[in-house]
Structure 1
Amino acid sequence: MEKGKEPIVREKSMMYIIFASLLIDLLAFTMILPLLPSLMDHYRRNDPPDGWYNYFLSSIESFRLLVGAPDRFSSVLFGGALGSLFSFLQFLISPLAGGMSDVYGRKPILLISMIGIACSYALWAVSHSFALFIIARIIGGLSKGNVSLSMAAMTDVSSPATRASGMALVGIAFSIGFVVGPVIGALFARWASSSGGLMEPNWYTKPALFALTLALTDVFFILFCFKETLHKSKRAKSLGSSLGQAASYINVFSLFKFTAVQNLPKSGRTDLQSLGRIYFVYLFVYSGLEFTLTFLTHHKFGFTPMRQGMMFFWMGLTMALLQGGWVRRIKQERVRSAAVKGLFIIIPSYVLVGLATNEYILYSGVFLFAVSTSMVVPCMTTLASQYGGDEQKGTVMGIFRSLGALARALGPILASIAYWSVGSTATFLVGSLALLWPWYALRRTSVKQD
């Protein structure tokens, strides 16, 4: 009997190891978020006149003037542009990393990704110019295949009955990371500000070295604790068969068709393509409205950065509690139904936010937003993870993650244009109407439930 239970214990232990690795990475990744305004101010003062900062700033200023945004939001648009760049790089790397892991295993490619991330933090620590900072972000973006690899590994070690729980753990890691990481960054910012450190030329070195320490900890954690989840007998036979279609990995039309996923029955491919389109449209609208929420709370309600930080803190805490206490216990046959409900809940959330005339209505919409987010991404990822053989889970998860990254790269751009062109109310109401399609489409789509 004990022997019969042993694989389950190993399965659960590996799920928590994957969760811990992803959480360490996300803590380092998110701690830079509250530091970005101070970093931009630092490079504005210290980058040479012919440096990259002024070049990028002139482009951002042209965009700001085009959409009619006030001057004080230049730094927010600058941060959004950096975020879009990072997401675009993830769009490029996720399916490639997933395809390579299908051939060589999850662990070696995961280690390469984490070493690349550590190198990006090391370069950030010595980024005396904005050019070096941008190069560090590019290296970090191109190394961010670890998220899709973690999802693929979670699929490897979970059974159909526990897969929703595994994907919920990934969601919990994101929720905790986006709650705790920015707090760590804010503490560094407060320390630097109170000690006059923001005026020092290398004040950012300490938070960068802290992020580097976390990344190196993750490297050694993976090296010694992470056991390979994809057995050699289940891997793709050759690199040529998995990466020979590299063009299809970065070709948008091929991505939506999941061309790189081989040997799927026609019905399965059709369902997977439908899931990909639904996921992309959802995240495209979602990420855009999430980005402009910062503008809305400042413009209509006078939120300071601290109040905005507290709002996102409570959102993240709500998501973590729901994912940890309920979403991860959703049974396999109810995953699709939960995703449909989550897609429906976000529609009134954006209506409330768009029409909010006081903070009570605003927070009602934000609460529904957090509830929906806790359900949709883990459940839809679980649905996608059921397609493809064991030798192609990395490719499937990589493409799915890549579609999400592409949506996150494009969504904030269009939403910013809409926000400053037609106003917050119209932007959020149109966005909520646009989200009717993902809800209706998933409701009518037949997906695997085993």
Structure 2
Amino acid sequence: MRFDNKAVPIVLAAVLIDTIGFGIVIPVLPRLITELGHVDLEQGARLAGYMLVLFSATQFVAGPIMGSLGDRFGRRRVLIASMLAFAIDYGLMALAPTLAWLFVGRAIAGIAGAVYAPAMAVLSDVTPPAKRGATFGLIGAAFGMGFIIGPAIGGLLAGLGPRAPFVAAGLLAAINALTMMVALPETLAPENRRPFDWRAANIVGAFRPLFAAGNAAALLGAWFLWQLAHMVYPATWSFWATIRLGWDARAIGWSLAFTGLCMALVQMTLTGRAIARFGERVTVVIGLVSGAVAFTALAFVTQGWMVYALFVAGAFQGFVFPAMNALLSHMVDADRQGALQGGISSMSSVASIIGPLVLSQALAAGTDHGFPGAAFLLAGLMAATALVIIVTLVLRRPSANAAASPVR
């Protein structure tokens, strides 16, 4: 694949390596939490939900700050600092003697996890508006490929103990930081930088130019619901698969690798074509339909092969992220792309605070009543509601939600 700017493949590689590091540890989290906390799987699912809440709360604060810092000092410095923080985080978790250490590690990871704001801003810097949807799709593909490689490696490394994947993840993060130090160019020209302003370094300030450019409330509301729904995977998958299907760490790792493969193939080969043919808003609808159907069906599976069939059917949900992000990125100017992506990151963090709490509790409560699929049923309802909002308030009001002239 040919890239117009060498920063694009470097950022994609950074996202890939980062996601591998994140995915490596997923298969062993249930075992590590239950061992350190001396709890059963149901209580472990609740603790994992609280851990995700802490991660998301710190990311909520850090997202707009990191994005605004990128708008002030450039993307490169922020990306490198984030990767170094990730390396420290995984090192802490590898050595964790108690659950408290795991929570501290997740707090550090929440700050470092704001890396996606400057990463997306890099792509906005170097990609013409008409091509952003397809380019953002490549970020999704890199994320999907990371979930192919990461959980598979994590499942294999689980045989060496529940801490081995964290050591591997820390090494990958350190390599990632070193690679960016050597090869990543700065993509934000000095004339496009702006002073850092604490008033803009929060979710309200980050979205202020967006609302000035157009009526984006419906789009943001639908995206927020989708993000809530999508949290069902990190919040419950390992525990649900263990409870419902009796899978071990290796089986969980391979299942996540397979869904990553399906989504990566869709995002690499079909996202750009779908946006070019149908436009960004219709492409969002296709993704939401795919996700709503897959979530709802997963609630009722009884055998492992059904999961794999639904992963194939639900792979088009990978359209949602790049199409929505492209719609929003058209609405702000070059010196606000970092702040916008930071605001989007914070909105994701709010969903990541609420989602794990609600969905992990739904899993635990449903399991208590003989229905482990309750979390997926709830996720399907959220995705369907987002779909209704898009169809009724976005598709029918193109003048209010179409890309407007960027504003400062």
Instruction: Give the TM-score, by structure 1 length.
Output: 0.78
Amino acid at match of 1:92: V
Preserved contact between residue 113 and residue 144 of structure 1 (Cα < 8 Å): yes
Q: How does 1:380-395 map to 2 (within 5 A)?
A: 380-395=324-339
Determine the structure 2 residue equivalent to 1:176. 145
Asked if residue 260 in structure 1 is aligned to residue 206 in structure 2, the reply is yes
Q: How does 1:439-450 map to 2 (within 5 A)?
A: 439-443=387-391, 444-445=393-394, 446=398, 447-449=401-403
Q: Separation in 2 of the partners of 1:44 and 1:427?
A: 23
Q: Separation in 2 of the partners of 1:342 and 1:139?
A: 32
Gaps (5+ residues) in structure 2? Answer: none
Q: Separation in 1 of the partners of 2:336 and 2:60?
A: 18
Q: Separation in 1 of the partners of 2:242 and 2:48?
A: 16
Determine the structure 2 residue equivalent to 1:17. 10
Determine the structure 1 residue equivalent to 2:30. 37
Counting aligned pairs with the same residue, the percent is 25
Amino acid at match of 2:46: L
Preserved contact between residue 276 and residue 400 of structure 1 (Cα < 8 Å): no
For residues 156-211 of structure 1, the C-alpha deviation after alignment (integer angstroms, 9 at most, x for no partner) is 1111232122101110111111221122222222134xxxxx7xxxxx3x544433
Q: Separation in 2 of the partners of 1:353 and 1:182?
A: 20
Kindly state the Cα deviation for residue 436 of structure 1 after the two structures are TM-superposed: 2.6
Asked if residue 279 in structure 1 is aligned to residue 226 in structure 2, the reply is no
Preserved contact between residue 24 and residue 166 of structure 2 (Cα < 8 Å): no
Preserved contact between residue 52 and residue 356 of structure 2 (Cα < 8 Å): no
Kindly state the Cα deviation for residue 37 of structure 1 after the two structures are TM-superposed: 3.1
Amino acid at match of 1:73: E
Gaps (5+ residues) in structure 1? Answer: 1-7, 46-56, 58-70, 193-197, 199-203, 250-254
Determine the structure 2 residue equivalent to 1:201. none
Indicate which of 353, 376, 383 corresponds to 1:435. 383
Determine the structure 1 residue equivalent to 2:177. 219
Q: Separation in 1 of the partners of 2:49 and 2:360?
A: 9
Q: Separation in 1 of the partners of 2:312 and 2:2?
A: 36
Determine the structure 1 residue equivalent to 2:353. 409
Kindly state the Cα deviation for residue 75 of structure 1 after the two structures are TM-superposed: 2.4
Structure 1 351/164 Cα, relative in aligned 2: closer, same or farther at 3 Å? same
Amino acid at match of 2:193: R
Determine the structure 1 residue equivalent to 2:104. 135
Bigger CA drift: 338-347 or 134-143? Answer: 134-143
RMSD: 2.8
Structure 1 261/188 Cα, relative in aligned 2: closer, same or farther at 3 Å? same
SS at match of 1:317: helix
Asked if residue 230 in structure 1 is aligned to residue 192 in structure 2, the reply is no
Structure 1 41/299 Cα, relative in aligned 2: closer, same or farther at 3 Å? closer
Amino acid at match of 2:179: F
Determine the structure 2 residue equivalent to 1:114. 83
SS at match of 2:299: helix
Determine the structure 1 residue equivalent to 2:279. 334
The alignment of Structure 1 onto Structure 2 pairs a total of residues equal to 393
Kindly state the Cα deviation for residue 269 of structure 1 after the two structures are TM-superposed: 4.0
Instruction: Give the TM-score, by structure 2 length.
Output: 0.86
**Structure 1 runs of 4+ off > 6 angstroms?**
none
Bigger CA drift: 294-303 or 179-188? Answer: 294-303
Kindly state the Cα deviation for residue 26 of structure 1 after the two structures are TM-superposed: 1.8
Determine the structure 1 residue equivalent to 2:126. 157
